[in-house]
Amino acid sequence: MRLARPIVFGNWKMNGLRADGLALAGALAQRAVRLSGTLGIFPPFTILHAVAQRVCETGILVGGQDCHEKSFGAYTGSISAPMLVDAGAKAVILGHSERRHGLGETDALVRAKLLAARAAGLLVVLCVGETEEERLAGVHEERLWAQLDGSLPEGIGPEGLVVAYEPVWAIGTGRTPTSADIVATHAAVRRMLARRVVGGDAIPILYGGSVKPDNAAEIMACAGVDGVLVGGASLDAAAFWSIYQAGGGA
- In the complex, which residue's CB is closest to ligand 13P? 231
Q: Which stretch binds ligand 13P (CB under 6 A): 23-31, 109-117, 152-160, 205-213?
A: 205-213
The dihedral through the CA atoms of 4, 64, 237, 219 has a sign that is: negative
3 state SS of 66? coil
Mask: binding to ligand 13P, 54-93, rule CB under 6 A, as x and -? ----------------------------------------
167 near ligand 13P, rule: CB under 6 A: no
Residue among 69, 98, 105, 166 flagged as catalytic: 166
209 contacts 174 by C-beta, under 8 angstroms: no
Nearer to ligand 13P, 109 or 233 (CB): 233
CA distance linking residue 40 with residue 151, whole number of Å:
23
38 near ligand 13P, rule: CB under 6 A: no
CA distance linking residue 141 with residue 145, whole number of Å:
6
166 near ligand 13P, rule: CB under 6 A: yes
Amino acid at position 58, single letter = T
CA distance linking residue 47 with residue 17, whole number of Å:
7
114 contacts 126 by C-beta, under 8 angstroms: yes
Is 166 a known active-site residue? yes
209 near ligand 13P, rule: CB under 6 A: yes
Query: What residues contact 221, with CB distance under 8 A and at least 6 apart?
Result: 179
Mask: binding to ligand 13P, 121-150, rule CB under 6 A, as x and -? ------------------------------
Contact footprint for ligand 13P (CB under 6 A): 11, 96, 166, 171-172, 208-211, 229-233
